[in-house]
Structure 1
Amino acid sequence: MSGDAQISRLKPGKRTDIRRENERTILDAAEKVFAEAGFGGATMQLIADMAGLPKANLHYYFATKEDLYRKVVQQIFEIWLDAAMIFDDAPGPVEGIGGYIDAKMDISRTHPHGSKVWASEVMHGAPVIQDYLETTLRDWTEGRIKAIQRWIDEGKMAPVNPRHLLYMLWATTQHYADFGHQIQTLNGGKALSDRQWNEAKASVKDMVLRGIGAK
C-alpha cells in the first residue's frame, strides 16, 4: 500500500498532521536541492531522495517541479515578510531597522538554503518568479520605504535614500547565508558560534544605525 493510501485511512486530525509533516520534509529537502543544484539541475527524484520519500509522494503534494520551487521561494519570502513586520509598529529606526537587522541575520542563520535559492533565481533574471517580484515584492518594498521616509521626516534619522538603504540591508544580512561557506572558511573552517553570531549582529546594527544617524 502506498504512503498516500495509508494516510487516507487515518482519522482526519492524524491525516492533517502527517500531511503537514510530509510537506515540511519535502520543502526542507527541496530548499537544499534547489540551493545546491539550481532549478535546472534539480529533479523531483533528487528531492525525493533527499526527503527520504517515494517520488510519488512529492507529486501528491506538488504536481510539478515548478510548483514545488515556487512554494520554496514563497516560503522564504513569507519568513522575510514576518521579519519586516517590526517596521509597522516601531516608533523609530533604532527599534525598526535594528530589529529588522536582528531578524534578517537570524533568518540567514536558520534558513541559509532558502536565501541561496532566492539569490540564484534573481541573478538568473527571475525566470520563474518574475511575477512575484513585480507584485508582492514591489508592494512590500514600497511599504518599508514609506516607514523609513516617515522617520526621516520626523528627524529620527539622516535623510538617506530609503530604497538604497533597504538594498544595503538585504545585501549585508543575506551575505551571511549566501556566502556562508566563505565566512566559515575565514573563521578557521568552523561555523560562527553563538557568541560570534551575536557579535556579528551587534556590529552590523551599530554600523548601520550610526551611519544613518538613528535616534
Structure 2
Amino acid sequence: MSVTPRKTASRARPVLVEEDEGPKSRIRQLNEAAILSGAERVFARAGFGGATMAQIAEEAGVPKPNLHYYFGNKADLYRAVLDRVLHDWLSPTDVITAEADPREAIESYVRTKMALAYERPDASRVFANELIHGAPVVGELLRSELRRTVREKAAVLDAWIAEGRMAPLDTTHFFFTLWASTQTYADFDVQVRAVLGHDSASPRARKRAIEHVLDLTLRACGLQRD
C-alpha cells in the first residue's frame, strides 16, 4: 500500500491518498521526502519539544494521519530527520578516496558542504540543536557511523600526507574545523547577516563566503588552486 498526490482547492501542495503500489514506490519516496523536509523546518524552528505533528503536517502540506502512516509518531519522525541530515552530510565524503586528486576532492567536499549550509540551513540547525542538548537521539549514530567515516577519510588524508601530496596536519581535527567553518553560515546566519547587512543573502556574498572557506582550507592543506 502506498500513496499518490491529489490536488486540493485550498493548497498548492499535494495531499496524500492511498493506492495500491509497491512498499517503496517512487511516489512513496517522494512523499516521505516531502514530510521529512517539512519536519526539518519545523524541528529547526521549534525544537523537538515545541514541534507538533499538526505543525509538521501543515508545513509539509499533507493530512496529519499520513505522518503517522509513514513515521508512526513524532519521536520516530525526529529520528528519521536527523538520520537523513547525517547521511546527506557524510555522503559528500565519498569523493575522498586514495585514488582521488587531493585538491579536487577537498574542493568538491567544501563546495558541497557550503551548498548544504545555504540551501538547507534548517538541516544544520536541527542537528546542531540535537548536539547542544547532548545528542540524546543520535549519540549512538555519532559513535558508530560518524566515527567510522571520519576514521576512514582521515586515513586517506594521512596517506596523502605520507606521499607528499598535501601538507601535514591533524586529519581528524581537519574535519571538525571544516564542519565549523561551513555550518556557521547556517547555524549562525543571524550573526553573519548582522555583520554583512543587506548584502548577506546576495549571490555575490555567497560566492565570497565559499571562496574564502575554500581558500583557507586548501591553504591549510598546502594545495594550490587553479
TM-score relative to the length of structure 1:
0.88
CA contact (8 A) 1:157 1:212 kept: yes
CA contact (8 A) 1:94 1:214 kept: yes
Per the TM alignment, residue 83 of structure 1 is displaced from its structure 2 partner at its CA by: 1.1
CA-to-partner distance for each residue in 1:64-90, whole Å, 9 max, x for gaps? 112111111111112112211111266
State the aligned residue count.
210
Q: Flag structure 1 segments of 5+ consecutive residues without an equivalent.
A: none
Per the TM alignment, residue 186 of structure 1 is displaced from its structure 2 partner at its CA by: 2.5
- The residue aligned with 1:158 is 167
**How far apart, in 2, do the equivalents of 1:17 and 1:84 lie?**
26
**Which residue, out of 3, 17, 20, partners 1:7?**
17
Which amino acid in structure 1 is aligned with residue 21 of structure 2? P
**Which residue, out of 137, 141, 144, partners 2:146?**
137
**How far apart, in 2, do the equivalents of 1:117 and 1:24 lie?**
16
1:76 aligns with 2:49: no
Which amino acid in structure 2 is aligned with residue 7 of structure 1? V
Per the TM alignment, residue 191 of structure 1 is displaced from its structure 2 partner at its CA by: 4.5
Which amino acid in structure 2 is aligned with residue 130 of structure 1? G
Q: Flag structure 2 segments of 5+ consecutive residues without an equivalent.
A: 5-15
Please say which of residues 19-28 and 61-70 is displaced more in the overlay. Answer: 19-28
1:211 aligns with 2:220: yes
CA-to-partner distance for each residue in 1:159-207, whole Å, 9 max, x for gaps? 2111111100000011111112222232324542223222221111112
Query: Per the alignment, in what secondary structure is the counterpart of residue 7 of structure 1?
Result: strand
1:16-165 maps to which residues of 2 (within 5 A)? 16-88=25-97, 91-165=100-174
TM-score relative to the length of structure 2:
0.84
Which amino acid in structure 2 is aligned with residue 181 of structure 1? V
CA contact (8 A) 2:40 2:126 kept: yes
Higher relative contact order (CA 8 A, sep 6+): 1
Per the TM alignment, residue 144 of structure 1 is displaced from its structure 2 partner at its CA by: 1.1
Please say which of residues 192-201 and 161-170 is displaced more in the overlay. Answer: 192-201
Please say which of residues 194-203 and 17-26 is displaced more in the overlay. Answer: 17-26
**How far apart, in 2, do the equivalents of 1:134 and 1:207 lie?**
28
**How far apart, in 2, do the equivalents of 1:139 and 1:70 lie?**
20
| Greater per-residue strand proportion | 2
Q: Which runs of 4+ in 1 moved over 6 A?
A: none
CA contact (8 A) 1:109 1:176 kept: yes
CA contact (8 A) 2:98 2:156 kept: no
Per the TM alignment, residue 132 of structure 1 is displaced from its structure 2 partner at its CA by: 0.6
**How far apart, in 1, do the equivalents of 2:198 and 2:141 lie?**
37
**How far apart, in 2, do the equivalents of 1:88 and 1:195 lie?**
32
**How far apart, in 2, do the equivalents of 1:79 and 1:142 lie?**
18
Please say which of residues 194-203 and 168-177 is displaced more in the overlay. Answer: 194-203
